[in-house]
Amino acid sequence: MARGDHVDLAGFMDGVRRRNPGQPEFVQAVQEVAEDIYDFFESHEEYHAEQILRRIAEPDRVVSFRVCWEDDRGNIRVQRGWRVQNNNAIGPYKGGLRFHPSVTESVLKFLAFEQTFKNALTGLPMGGAKGGANFNPRGKSDREVMRFCQSFMTELYRHVGADVDVPAGDIGVGAREIGYMFGQYKRITNQFTGVLTGKGLEFGGSLIRTEATGYGAVYFLENMLAHRGQGIAGLVCTISGSGNVATHAAEKLVQLGAKPVTLSDSDGFIHVPGGFTQEQIDWVKDLKTVRRGRIAEFAEAFPAASYHEGERPWGVPCDVAIPCATQNELDEDDAKRLVANGCIAVVEGANMPTTLGATHYLKASRVLFAPGKAANAGGVAVSGLEMAQNSARISWSEEQLQQLLKDIMKGIHDRCVKWGTEADGHVDYVKGANIAGFKKVADAMLAYGVV
């Protein structure tokens, strides 16, 4: 397109759809951002003339590779691995690795695109990336997971590095997998560098990294409520998921006097009307990270809980809903039920858990809506702090890191308020996050010229 030619939003999205056939998640993520920033983008001729939005929506590169490994019965398994490096305008690529059968190139492109804005919002120097494989860790032995991780890293190591691209964990990739992959990287390269974050404390990990995403999401909620003059204590919160983000969000809610009442996995959800205790949350953490069992077992162990097979928790009346499982797990019907039941806030602990229809409905209903790129940025923020500690070869104290996490979440909240406040004082956090994240990356890209 010639300099100065303007296409409207629909025309821009037609182009994105044409260039990315069969990639609905990626198109959805681009649309969500483009809808919010288009007016801002159009009012800045320099962004338009330099085709900044179109350049951000085209990953710097997508690497796809074969991952072969041998299972415990001696069968050869063949999986596909990817690393999507979306944009490194403001720092080395950074973003998690996901091991789940639902992983596709489209899912990783959407996550890498989102990560670009999220990382910019934190205020730390990190570009956006995401990676993973269609490997299902469920039911695999430790040795099988180890062989898979080693094989995965045997290709990935060529594309990453402490100043190049620093992956972290995500769904299906926790401390165990990061340990196996870091061990393999070190073995191949003979270098002990901060190439991965989420490492064990014994080998360069940071305190509070494990807790950071869930805690950060609750700090973000606290900031949103405080901005409206409300407190968090006593609020009934429904949570989906029972992994890293979900359990730590529940834990922070309990610490702040709120009442988390549900957790779930891909088979169903559990409901504890009186709210989870810390002991029960610890029980779930052990179930999911050590025993690797199903959430249904909770209801057998704790009679106060009910189990709802094949259902999601959004029909349970609540003040706040915090989806922490996966993308598109809260649809428009769920959003309508939440609003009808008096829900005042939805906080995305997961990445894009809310469908576009549900997002539109919640925004129109004036529910406080915290998008994942703002609310769950605490994890990558502490990953950024892990990189800083690795570069300086020091470890900061828990108190220092807790304070930094709180400050970073407040900074993200305030950036959203700056760019998302409407004439009547209501804050459109989605718009605020999208514009603030976009602006930082776009301004850096302008400085580089056409590259």
Give Dmax over CA atoms of the chain in angstroms: 67
3-state secondary structure of 278: helix
How far is residue 191's CA from residue 92's CA, in Å, rounded to a whole number?
18
**Under the criterion CB under 6 A, does residue 389 sit at the interface with ligand NDP?**
no
Q: E-strand spans in 232-275?
A: 236-240, 259-260, 262-265, 268-271
Sign of CA dihedral 42, 43, 47, 49: positive
**Pick 13 or 178: Cβ nearer ligand NDP:** 178
User: Would you say 375 or 445 has its CB closer to ligand NDP?
Assistant: 375
Burial class (CB in 10 A: 0-12, 13-18, 19+), 39: exposed
Here's the x/- map for ligand NDP, 126-155, by CB under 6 A: it reads as ------------------------------
Considering only CA atoms, which of 412, 410, 335, 334 is closest in space to residue 373? 412
Interface stretch with ligand NDP, choices 6-14, 47-55, 339-347, 348-356 (CB under 6 A) = 348-356
> Should residue 213 be labelled a site residue for ligand NDP when binding is judged by CB under 6 A?
yes
Report the alpha-carbon distance of residue 434 to residue 17 in Å, rounded: 20
Burial class (CB in 10 A: 0-12, 13-18, 19+), 310: exposed
130 is catalytic: yes
Assess contact for 322 and 236: CB atoms under 8 A: no
Q: Does residue 37 bind ligand NDP (CB under 6 A)?
A: no
Is the CB of 238 or the CB of 326 nearer to ligand NDP?
326
DSSP structural state of residue 196: S
Nearest distance from residue 278's CB to ligand NDP, in Å?
18
Cβ-closest position to ligand NDP: 243
Question: Within positions 162 to 201, which residues make up the interface with ligand NDP, using CB under 6 A?
Answer: 169-172
Among 245, 281, 436, 445, binds ligand NDP (CB under 6 A): 245
Task: Tell me which stretch binds ligand NDP (CB under 6 A): 32-40, 47-55, 240-248, 416-424.
Answer: 240-248
Measured from the CB atom, the residue of 36 and 170 that comes closer to ligand NDP is 170
Residue 52 or 287 having the CB closest to ligand NDP:
287
CB of 209 to ligand NDP, least distance (A): 8
Please state the closest distance from residue 122 (CB atom) to ligand NDP, in A. 11
- The residue among 319 and 329 lying less far from ligand NDP, judged by its C-beta, is 329
The tokens describing 342, both together, are: 């008096």
User: Is residue 87 a contact residue for ligand NDP (CB under 6 A)?
Assistant: no
Which of 89, 350, 435, 441: binder of ligand NDP (CB under 6 A)? Answer: 350
Pairing state of beta strands 76-87 and 93-99? unpaired
- Least distance in angstroms from the C-beta of 35 to ligand NDP: 21
Taking the complex as a whole, the smallest distance from the CB of residue 198 to ligand NDP amounts, in Å, to 7
Is 432 near ligand NDP (CB under 6 A)?
no
Smallest distance, ligand NDP to C-beta of residue 450, A:
32
Q: Exactly one of 81, 241, 315, 420 binds ligand NDP (CB under 6 A); which one?
A: 241
Q: How far is the CB of 314 from ligand NDP (least distance, A)?
A: 12
Using CB under 6 A, pick the residue from 88, 122, 151, 244 that binds ligand NDP: 244
- Identify the active-site residue in 94, 109, 118, 130: 130
Is 376 one of the binding residues for ligand NDP (CB under 6 A)?
yes
* Residue 372 in tokens: 């994942």
Q: In what order do the strands lie in the sheet with 259-260?
A: 259-260, 236-240, 320-323, 345-347, 368-370
Rounded-to-integer distance, Cα 218 and Cα 232, Å: 9
What is the sign, positive or negative, of the torsion defined by CA atoms of 36, 40, 41, 43? positive
Calpha distance 344→350 (Å, rounded): 19
Helix (H) or strand (E) holding 81: strand 76-87
Piece of 30-38, 146-154, 301-309, 320-328 that binds ligand NDP (CB under 6 A): 320-328
Verify binding: residue 325, ligand NDP, rule CB under 6 A. yes
Q: State the nearest-atom distance from the C-beta of 48 to ligand NDP, in Å.
A: 31
State which H helix or E strand residue 10 sits in: helix 9-19
Cα–Cα nearest to 152, from 62, 68, 63: 68
The 10 Å Cβ neighbour count of residue 2 is: 5
Residues 253-282 that bind ligand NDP (CB under 6 A): 265-266
Q: Which of the residues are catalytic?
A: 130
Binding site for ligand NDP (CB under 6 A): 102, 169-172, 213, 241-246, 265-266, 324-326, 329, 349-351, 376, 379
